[in-house]
Amino acid sequence: MKKNYVIEEVVPNELVANAFKADKDAYKKHLDDMLDMGCLMLATMTLELQKQYEDIVTYDMIQHLKELYERQTRQERYKTSKVLFQCKTVEGSPMGTHVLKMIGYIESLEKLGFLLGVELVSDVIL
């Protein structure tokens, strides 16, 4: 049974005492699934991260982690693109070495979600 919805949806508000049974069951299921996913996520983390996130609900945990790692990815993209666009051939060195280095930077950017068009890649390398 899929439980991924708990990392994509905010925890529903607690129900009133006279709520319908179906609503109460859905709310309880959400809390149970959230607990299962939270435990699974914590089990895959380092001890340091476990301590930091042990009292946080699953949705908030995933939102914070996304924000944290997106910021790091953005910084890595900036550094790599800066090096790529400042890269120049060294006089007397083989052109193949330069091209391989440039391709490595371009592939790193692609892994970080920054795709360069074919035309731009050709222009940058040449």
Q: Which two tokens stand for residue 105?
A: 């930077």
The CA distance from 118 to 116, in Å, is: 7
Q: How confident is the model at residue 1 (pLDDT cuts 50, 70, 90)?
A: low
- Alpha-carbon distance values, 78 to 44, 51, 74, 86, 114 (Å): 29, 31, 6, 12, 10
The CA distance from 108 to 114, in Å, is: 9
The CA distance from 63 to 82, in Å, is: 29
User: pLDDT above 70 covers what percent of the chain?
Assistant: 99
The CA distance from 46 to 52, in Å, is: 10
Looking at this protein, which amino acid is placed at residue 2? Answer: K
Contact 73, 113 (CB under 8 A): yes
> Mean pLDDT, the chain, as a whole number?
88
Q: Mapping DSSP to helix (H, G, I), strand (E, B) and coil, where does residue 33 land?
A: helix
pTM of the model: 0.56
User: pLDDT above 90 covers what percent of the chain?
Assistant: 43
